Amino acid sequence: GAVVSQHPSRVICKSGTSVKIECRSLDFQATTMFWYRQFPKQSLMLMATSNEGSKATYEQGVEKDKFLINHASLTLSTLTVTSAHPEDSSFYICSARSRAGGSYEQYFGPGTRLTVT
Amino acid sequence: AQRVTQPEKLLSVFKGAPVELKCNYSYSGSPELFWYVQYSRQRLQLLLRHISRESIKGFTADLNKGETSFHLKKPFAQEEDSAMYYCALGAGNNRKLIWGLGTSLAVNP
């Protein structure tokens, strides 16, 4: 149980275009989903927290107009990187927290490798 | 301030040796602590949570509130334990995790 999927697993796009990444909880309802960036051999950087049906909460320094997050249902959150630039190239990971209980525990997706050329 | 410190970026041990990955935290409230592991080319997965007081894959971690530590230990390391280990602190109303920078464990044959 507690499986999170991400799509696509890898995407290459041209500078200036937008890219959408989907995060789905497959076998549970996710009250909250989190979006992270992970740089090579570095830790996770939390970008934003999204709660179903409400606006995402962005971490300091993360541009909300550039990284659009939508959490339309209890099983789906999307991250859209708008007007992508090469410096946006990174590994984007989502995680989801189960609706049940008050635990902090998060279940992670496999990540999406974004390359902006 | 809420913070998680993993002082070792890299830890290298021989197979069969004991291993301890250090984690210290700073939090004014009642902490909820986790260890996550990321094996090569795999997703992050939960290894341990302090409230469960369990042993997974031979690993244990005890919360020491006096020393504000949650060190991960295993008495006899195996090669398959080689991975990136992250300590995380649950904090805040939105239930986000505060992450350490991670420790890369290499278990040599």
Residue A59 DSSP label: P
Asked if the Cβ–Cβ distance from B104 to A34 is below 8 Å, we say: no
Q: Render B23-59 in DSSP notation, one character per residue.
A: -EEE-SS--EEEEEEE-TTS--EEEEETTTT--BTTB
Residue of A nearest to B49 (CA): A105
CB atoms within 10 A of CB A64: 13
CB–CB of B94 and A57 under 8 A?
yes
- Name the residue facing B46 among A49, A105, A110 (closest C-beta): A105
Matching residue, tokens 């070792």: B8
Backbone angles phi, psi at B55, to 5 degrees: -115, 125
Mean pLDDT of A90-117: 87
Statement: residue B95 has pLDDT above 80: no
Contact B97 A46 (CB under 8 A): yes
CA–CA distance, A112 with B26 (Å, rounded to integer): 31
pLDDT band at A28 (very low <50, low <70, confident <90, very high): confident
Indicate the pLDDT class of residue B101, thresholds 50, 70 and 90: very high
Which residues on chain A are in Cβ contact (under 8 Å) with B44?
44, 93, 95, 108
Give the nearest partner residue to B95 out of A32, A44, A108, using CB atoms: A32
Q: Which residues of B touch A104 (CB under 8 A)?
A: 32, 34, 90-91, 95-97
A111/B94 Cβ within 8 A: no
Question: pLDDT value at position A90?
Answer: 94
Give the pLDDT confidence score for residue B55 in this predicted structure: 84
Would you call B34 and A105 a contact, using CB atoms and an 8 Å cutoff? yes
Q: How far apart are CA B6 and CA B22, in angstroms?
A: 6
DSSP 3-state of B15: coil
pLDDT reading at A42 higher than 90: no
Confidence of residue A102 (pLDDT cuts 50, 70, 90): low
Is B43 an interface residue toward A (CB < 8 Å)? yes
**Inter-residue contact A107 to A4 (CB < 8 Å):** yes
